[in-house]
Amino acid sequence: MNAVTVPVAASTKAPGMPLRRALGAYVEEARSECLRYMRAPGFMLPIMLFPGMFYLLFGVVMGKSEGADAARYLLASYSVFGVMSPGLFGFGVSLAIERDGGLLTLKRALPMPPGAYLLGKMLMAMSVAAVVVGVLLAMALGLAHVSLSLGQAAGLLLTGVLGVLPFCALGMYVGTLFKGQSAPAMLQLIYLPMSFLSGLWFPLPMMPKVLQQIAPVWPSYHLDRIALAAVGMGQGALWPHLLILIGFGGVFLLLAARRLRRTG
């Protein structure tokens, strides 16, 4: 009887928790999530190396023959490619593993605000996205000699930090659908084709016409348009891309929340 009633009683303390204590719980959960992933080389190294490696090859080495505009264009595209990863894998894989291990059930029983768990993961993904964009900016300015104003660099950084959120929602939904062993493979099947088909690896004008026509289907395409505008290469209005990303993130957040309520 005690084993049943204790978690229920503990979970009811969070709504009446003092504001200072509730804020402290949010801060500690976010801090622990960030530290956990920053100390995990198996998570951080691929996220850092893949976009950096691609930008070094195509943006720095090959960009010298193509000109500064190519390096600037690829800076925006590979920044989007880089920030997708912490959103998808930082949220999706960890959520699937923690559901399998019962950690999510345990956290629900703890006297902590119910949103602290998800907010902690969201802030972790935003922090990693900031690091990824910062590394690419350093490479662009120091190696590719891309000329960016302070406002453009800040705009690209802000785009990456906020642009990771729709992919957090997608990763969260996938994490509610699959177990920990299968979630990484499923997310790879989403991440890599989406990146290629939205023109993040190679500029869209270089790709077949049919791929150019279907590129707007992918959320990464719309984030790429915003990133290009941030570095001074955008064309047209940005609000349609913003609305699509907000709608995409909202839909998958609602789907994930519904799955979590049903399955835990």
Report DSSP state, residue 204: G
The residue with greater pLDDT, 172 or 90, is 172
Q: What is the CA radius of gyration of the chain?
A: 20
Mean pLDDT for the chain overall: 83
Query: Is 238 among the domain residues?
Result: yes
- Chain center to CA of 147: 26
Cα-to-chain-centroid distance, residue 117: 16
- What phi and psi values does residue 211 have, to the nearest 5 degrees? -70, -35
Q: Has residue 4 been placed in a domain?
A: no
Q: Domain range for residue 76?
A: 27-263
CB 192 within 8 A of CB 218: no
Where is pLDDT greater, at 19 or 52? 52
Q: What whole-number distance in Å separates Cα of residue 145 and Cα of residue 68?
A: 8
Classify residue 63: in a domain, yes or no. Answer: yes
d(CA 197, CA 80): 13
Whether 39 is covered by a domain: the verdict is: yes
Range in 29-43, 56-70, 73-87, 246-260 with the lowest mean pLDDT:
29-43
Does 17 map to a domain?
no
Rounded CA separation 58/247 (Å)? 32
Question: How many angstroms separate the CA atoms of 84 and 68, rounded?
Answer: 25
In-domain check, residue 211: yes
3-state class of 103 per DSSP?
helix
Strand, helix or coil for residue 196: helix
Give the total number of structural domains in the chain. Answer: 1
Does residue 251 surpass a pLDDT of 90?
A: yes
Query: How far is 183 from 36, CA to CA, in rounded Å?
Result: 19
pLDDT tens digits for 177-192? 988 788 889 999 999 9
Amino acid at 180: G
Residue 195 is predicted with a pLDDT of 93
Is 126 part of any domain? yes
Angle (CA) 45 49 51, round 5°? 135
Cα–Cα distance measured from residue 24 to residue 26, given in angstroms and rounded to the nearest whole number:
5
pLDDT exceeds cutoff 50 at 21:
yes
**Which of 8-17, 45-54, 55-64, 142-151 is predicted most confidently?**
142-151
In this predicted structure, what is the pLDDT of residue 131? Answer: 92
Task: Decide if 5 is inside a domain.
Answer: no
- pTM of the entire structure? 0.85
Q: How far is CA 98 from CA 6, 141, 143, in A?
A: 21, 40, 40
Predicted pLDDT at 12:
37
pLDDT tens profile 65-114: 666 788 899 999 999 999 999 999 888 888 888 777 766 666 666 666 66
Residues in contact with 89: Cβ distance below 8 Å, sequence separation at least 6, in sequence order: 43, 47, 171, 184, 187, 191
Q: Which residue has the higher pLDDT, 171 or 32?
A: 171
DSSP annotation of 250 reads H
Print burial letters for 121-150: b (CB count within 10 Å at least 16), e (below 16): bbbbbbbbbbbbbebbbebbeebbebebee
